[in-house]
Homo-oligomer: A and B are copies of this chain.
Amino acid sequence: MLAAERHAIILERLDQKPTVSIRALTEQLGVSRETVRKDIELLAQHNKLEKIRGGATKIRTSELPITSRSKLNIQGKSLIAQYLASQIPNGASLFLDNGSSVLALAKALTHHSGLIVYTNDLKVAEVIAQATVELVIIGGKVDVTEMAVQGVEALESVARYRADFAVVSAGGLSPSAFLTDFSREASSMRHLMLSQAQHPIMLADSEKFGVVGHVVFKAPPKPTRIVTDIAPDDEIRRAISQRGYRLDIASEA
């Protein structure tokens, strides 16, 4: 049994259950307790899981790494992506922040042409490159778990540009806390992008409804449209309209 196989199995177990025990893995993998411990230690260092006494559990800090998180509500995200892509003309300039919803949009935009794109997400850059006439990477320190650039240096760079559109994603959308996020730095980035664009757009697929992140999102500029895949409940709708934002539902287009 190769080390890589064991690692794959451990992570697979964690996709199904929230936790795995070292004891169980020892039997199922047919290796010693210490080996399983070392595997978990290694995976924990790579942020693939979290080490707990006697076993391991899924990552819970902030958001899940992009690979697993992006499995959530794929249809919803791509519905939003198709909807928005049809509204963005060839040759438009746009800010794209990081996140799986935005990545879905980038994929939907691959057949556009002449776009001018500013992004801090390396995956987004990779995907959208062919559709651009100008692609600008926001420079700075990279958050390796997200493969996205964050931090003050990145903010300074963003401040140097303006664009027709800014498309950013929300960490959570709830009636009481309204828009929230899981990272201070990502939140600042998103807010600045919105401010620098003529048409600021915030994505919140239905997975985000009722989710409250630990960072409150500073009120976005007023023309910001909040785009969802399906209609949220009345409480959320009220929260949005009371604050003066426009709600846009992709499935009703």
Contacts and interface: CB of A to CB of B under 8 A. Distances in A.
Interface of A: 2-5, 8, 18-19, 21, 46, 52-55, 57, 62, 122, 125-126, 129-130, 132, 134-142, 144, 147, 149, 154, 157
Nearest to A54: B2
A46 B137 contact: no
B4 A57 contact: yes
A135 B141 contact: yes
A108 to B, nearest CB: 18
Contact of A137 (B4, B19, B122, B130): B122
A7 to B, nearest CB: 10
A164 B144 CA distance: 21
Given A2-B19, A4-B57, A129-B147, A139 B138 contact: yes
Contacts of A140: 136-137, 139
Nearest to A61: B126
- Describe A's contact surface by its main secondary structure: mixed
A139 B139 contact: yes
Nearest to A50: B4
B125 A142 contact: yes
B141 A134 contact: yes
A125 B142 CA distance: 9
B4 A19 contact: yes
A163 to B, nearest CB: 14
Closest 7 CB pairs of A and B: A139-B139, A135-B142, A129-B144, A2-B54, A139-B157, A2-B55, A4-B19
A130 B5 CA distance: 19
Nearest to A8: B18
A211 to B, nearest CB: 27
A221 B126 CA distance: 34
Contact of A142 (B53, B55, B129): B129
B141 A4 contact: no
B132 A144 contact: yes
**Residue with the highest number of chain B CB atoms closer than 10 Å, among A2, A53, A130, A149:** A2
Contacts of A149: 137, 139
8 contacts: A5-B18, A8-B18, A62-B126, A125-B147, A130-B144, A137-B139, A137-B142, A137-B149
